[in-house]
Amino acid sequence: MEIVPLDRSEYDAAARIFADAFIDDPGWVAVGPDRRRLRHSILRRYHRTALDVIHRYGRPIYGAFADDGRLAGVAATFAAGLYPPPAWTTAYFVPGFLLAGPAPIVRGLRFSTIQERGHPKYEHVYLWFLAVDPARQRSGIGRALLARVYEEAAAPVYLDTANPANVPYYAGNEFEEIGTAHGPRGATMWFMVRTHPAEPGASRL
């Protein structure tokens, strides 16, 4: 397996991986349309747009390539000091959510507000998305991507998740929970951070 900065030509494939991986994610089930096929389409479009925003205002975006040369996982980040992107970039996401319908739009805006409030006040690396092709999960790809993010990070690494199964996974990768918030339709958002070991006075789990 090889982990390298992802070329823009691979963003379509990355968006498919995100959609496949997050189709049954509790946060997206709570926010997105109830019809699974439509939710997948919205997910794919949303993440393709997000990758363009991250490419312009954030990065690095890492891709994990399997031995057969196919993209198997993606970690999309904003390096320390680069988040958030300009507020007007939210307009890029409007066409995709219009296809989802009015209720998902309202729920999505609510969840987005919750996410923004969860960020630490100090400088941090934001791991916005981490996903592995479902067919290749539980093979160490996610951990390898996290290790690459840590290696390059110049500040604590922060993430949020609405999947309770992810909380112990990230805890096992040295993240600690710093808060929670309730979202639409019974969803919960967890906020987690991995303190950078090089930071003076840093503590680790």
Question: What's 58's domain CATH number?
Answer: 3.40.630.30
Residue 87: give the domain boundaries: 2-155
Burial group, residue 13, by CB count within 10 angstroms (0-12, 13-18, 19+): middle
Asked if the structure places residue 204 within a domain, the reply is no
Asked if the structure places residue 148 within a domain, the reply is yes
Asked if the structure places residue 78 within a domain, the reply is yes
Distance CA 199, CA 191 (A): 20
Q: For residue 205, what are its two tokens?
A: 């789990």
Asked if the structure places residue 138 within a domain, the reply is yes
Asked if the structure places residue 30 within a domain, the reply is yes
Asked if the structure places residue 139 within a domain, the reply is yes
For the whole model, what pTM was predicted? 0.93
Say how many CA atoms lie within 13 Å of 145 toward its Cβ.
30
Asked if the structure places residue 38 within a domain, the reply is yes
Distance CA 18, CA 44 (A): 7
Buried b / exposed e over 176-189, threshold 16 CB at 10 Å, is: eeeeebebbeebbb
Tens of pLDDT, residue by residue over 75-121, are 999 999 999 999 999 999 989 889 999 999 999 999 999 999 999 99
Would you write out the chain's pLDDT as a tens digit for each of its 205 residues?
999 999 999 999 999 999 999 999 999 999 999 999 999 999 999 999 999 999 999 999 999 999 999 999 999 999 999 999 999 999 999 898 899 999 999 999 999 999 999 999 999 999 999 999 999 999 999 999 999 999 999 999 999 999 999 999 999 999 999 999 999 999 999 999 999 654 433 433 3
**Average pLDDT for the chain:** 94
> Number of folded domains in the chain?
1
Asked if the structure places residue 82 within a domain, the reply is yes
Distance CA 19, CA 39 (A): 9
